[in-house]
């Protein structure tokens, strides 16, 4: 009985975190692009995070996308947002990253890439600029 209860609690926590991540992505990407619907080209990992979103829509070609979420094997001139700190750190062309470190969510954004793509950022996210 205790194992079943722990399983349900764990599932609830995981679902809550995925909803929070999706909500963060919706707010951040709407702030950057000033659009009601943001089209995202992504891999499987990114698709899992945004699949239930009404604001973030997955597209299947880079040409139709506003943003690339995650690492995708394609040459495209769209801003890239990753889900891994080491990819963010080692690639100076990445717009930003969201990742977990020591059980805490981390968000990083590059000011020069935001300017390069002429994006806007609300004051809510200015603390995360580098």
Q: Residue 99, Cα to own-chain centre: how many angstroms?
A: 9
In angstroms, the CA 36 to CA 26 distance is 10
Residue range of the domain that includes 38: 2-128
In angstroms, the CA 101 to CA 2 distance is 29
- Count of the separate structural domains present in the chain: 1
35 has a pLDDT exceeding 70: yes
3 has a pLDDT exceeding 70: no
What pLDDT, on a 0 to 100 scale, did the predictor assign at position 109? Answer: 94
Break the chain down into helix, strand, coil percent, rounded to 5: 45, 20, 35
Residues 6+ positions from 107 with CB-CB distance below 8 Å: 24, 28, 96, 97, 98, 125, 128
What pLDDT, on a 0 to 100 scale, did the predictor assign at position 11? Answer: 33
Q: What percent of the chain has pLDDT over 70?
A: 86
């Amino acid at each position: 009985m205790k194992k079943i209860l722990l399983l349900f609690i764990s599932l609830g926590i995981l679902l809550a975190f995925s909803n929070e991540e999706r909500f963060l992505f919706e707010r951040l990407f709407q702030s950057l692009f000033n659009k009601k619907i943001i089209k995202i080209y992504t891999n499987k990992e990114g698709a899992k995070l945004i699949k239930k979103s009404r604001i973030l829509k997955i597209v299947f070609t880079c040409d139709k996308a506003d943003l690339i979420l995650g690492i995708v094997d394609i040459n495209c001139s769209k801003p890239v947002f990753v889900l891994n700190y080491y990819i963010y750190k080692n690639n100076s062309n990445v717009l930003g990253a969201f990742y977990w470190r020591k059980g805490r969510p981390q968000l990083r954004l590059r000011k020069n890439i935001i300017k390069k793509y002429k994006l806007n950022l609300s004051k809510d996210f200015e603390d995360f600029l580098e």
